[in-house]
A and B are shown apart, each in its own frame.
Chain A
Amino acid sequence: MLTQALFRALDKKAIWVIAIFLAVAVLVPMANLLIPPGQFGHVPTYLVSLMGKYLAYAILALALDLVWGYCGILSLGHGAFFALGGYAMGMYLMRQIGTRGVYGHPVLPDFMVFLNYSELPWFWLGMDNFWFAMLMVVFVPGLLAFVFGFFAFRSRVTGVYLSIITQAMTFALLLAFFRNDMGFGGNNGLTDFKDILGVSVQAQSTRATLFAATAIALALSVLVCSMIVNSKLGKVMVAVRDAESRTRFLGYRVEYVKLFAFTVSAIMAGIAGALYVPQVGIINPSEFDPANSIEVVIWTAVGGRGTLIGPIIGAIVVNLGKSWFTTTLPELWLFALGALFVFTTLFLPKGIVGLWHQARDRMRRRTEPEERPEPPTPAQSADIERGEDPASFGHEAQPKPAE
Chain B
Amino acid sequence: MSAHTDTMLYLDGVSVAFDGFKAINNLAIIVKPAEMLAIIGPNGAGKTTMMDIITGKTRPDAGQVLFDGRTDLTRLDEAAIANLGIGRKFQKPAVFESHTVWDNLEMALKKPRGIFSTLFYTASDDDVARITEILETVRLIARKDEFAANLSHGQKQWLEIGMLLAQDPKLLLVDEPVAGMTDSETEETAKLLREISKTRSVVVVEHDMSFVRDLGSRVVCLAEGSVLAEGSLDQVSANPVVIERYLGR
Contact = CB atoms under 8 A, between A and B. Distances in A.
Interface residue SS majority, chain A: helix
Contact of A2 (B79, B99, B120, B147): B120
B21 to A, nearest CB: 17
A5 B150 contact: no
Contacts of B121: 231-233
Nearest to A374: B147
Interface string B53-84: 00101000000000000000000011100110
B96 A246 contact: yes
Interface in B108-154: 108, 113, 115, 118-122, 146-147, 149-150
Nearest to A234: B119
B113 A253 contact: yes
Nearest to B173: A249
B78 A248 contact: yes
Interface in A195-244: 228, 231-233, 235-236, 238-239, 242-243
A239 B107 contact: yes
Contact of A397 (B90, B103, B146, B163): B90
A394 interface: yes
B99 A5 contact: no
A393 interface: yes
B106 interface: yes
A249 B88 contact: yes
B75 to A, nearest CB: 16
B97 A392 contact: yes
A38 interface: no
B167 A394 contact: no
Contacts of A248: 77-79, 82
Contacts of B167: 250-251
A235 B82 contact: no
A351 interface: no
B92 A393 contact: yes
Contact of A243 (B55, B94, B120): B94
A282 to B, nearest CB: 37
Contacts, number: 107
B239 interface: no
Given A233-B115, A239-B107, A376-B147, A5 B120 contact: yes
Contacts of A251: 79, 82-83, 113, 167
Contact of B103 (A4, A235, A252): A235
A369 interface: no
A87 B25 CA distance: 59
Interface in A358-403: 372-373, 375-378, 389, 392-394, 396-397
Nearest to B118: A233
Contacts of A376: 97-98, 147, 149
Interface centre among B90, B150, B167 (most CB of A within 10 A): B90
B166 to A, nearest CB: 9
A92 B106 CA distance: 47
Given A2-B120, A232-B107, A256 B115 contact: yes
B48 interface: yes
B91 interface: yes
A130 B99 CA distance: 44
Contacts of A329: none
Contacts of B82: 248-251
B120 A397 contact: no
A254 B77 CA distance: 11
Nearest to B147: A375
Nearest to A239: B96
A9 B99 CA distance: 18
Contact of B99 (A4, A238, A396): A238
A267 to B, nearest CB: 15
Contacts of A239: 96, 99, 107
B118 A243 contact: no
B79 A253 contact: yes
Contact of A396 (B83, B92, B113): B92
A126 to B, nearest CB: 30
Contacts of B103: 235
A235 B113 contact: no
A182 interface: no
A153 interface: no
Given A5-B119, A231-B120, A394-B91, A249 B55 contact: yes
B122 to A, nearest CB: 5
A216 to B, nearest CB: 23
10 contacts: A231-B118, A250-B107, A250-B163, A260-B115, A373-B146, A373-B150, A375-B147, A396-B90, A396-B91, A396-B92
Interface of A: 1-2, 4-5, 8, 228, 231-233, 235-236, 238-239, 242-243, 245-246, 248-254, 256-257, 260, 372-373, 375-378, 389, 392-394, 396-397
By Cβ-Cβ distance, the 8 closest A-B pairs, closest first, are A394-B92, A251-B82, A248-B78, A392-B97, A233-B119, A233-B118, A232-B121, A251-B83
